[in-house]
Amino acid sequence: MFVEAALPAFATGPGGSAYSGAARIEDSTTIAEIHGHEGELKQWDEDYWDERQSSTLFSVTEEQLRPYFPLHCVLSGLFQLSSILFGITVKPADQRVEVWHPDVKVFDVYDEKGSHIASFFLDLYSRPSEKERGSWTTSFISRSKLLGKKPVAFVVCNQLPPIGSTPSLMSFAEVKSLFHEFGHAMQHMLTTVPYAMAAGLNNIELDAVEFPSQFMENWLYDNNTIPLISGHYQTGKPLPQNIFAQILKAHHYGGGSVMLRQLFLAALDLTLHTRAGEHGIIISYSSFSSTDSWTKVVKKIAERFSVMKEIPESCILCTFPHIFSGGYAAGYYAYEWAEVLSQDAFGAFEDVGLQNRKAISKIGRRFRDTVLSLGGGTDPGEVFRMFRGQDPHLEFLLKAYGI
Beta-carbon contacts of residue 315 (< 8 Å; ≥ 6 apart): none
Quote the CA–CA distance of 65 and 68 in Å, as a whole number.
6
Beta-carbon contacts of residue 163 (< 8 Å; ≥ 6 apart): none
Kindly tell me the sign of the dihedral angle through the C-alpha atoms of 193, 198, 200, 206: negative
Buried-state track 30-42, b at ≥16 Cβ within 10 A, e below 16: ebbeeeebeeebe
Quote the CA–CA distance of 170 and 68 in Å, as a whole number.
8
Residue type at 335 in one-letter notation: Y
Per DSSP, the residues of 90-125 read: EEE-GGGS--SSTT-EEEEEE-TTS-EEEEEEEEEE
Quote the CA–CA distance of 361 and 347 in Å, as a whole number.
14
- Contact status, residue 156 vs residue 76, Cβ threshold 8 Å: no
Determine which helix (DSSP H) or strand (DSSP E) holds 137, and give its type and residue range: strand 136-141
- Please report which residue ranges of 99-210 form alpha helices under DSSP H: 172-189
Q: Is 51 a catalytic residue?
A: no
Beta-carbon contacts of residue 321 (< 8 Å; ≥ 6 apart): 8
Residue tagged active-site, from 46, 181, 217, 310: 181
Q: What pairing do the DSSP bridges indicate for beta strands 152-159 and 282-283?
A: unpaired
Determine which helix (DSSP H) or strand (DSSP E) holds 389, and give its type and residue range: none
What are the residue numbers of the active site? Answer: 181
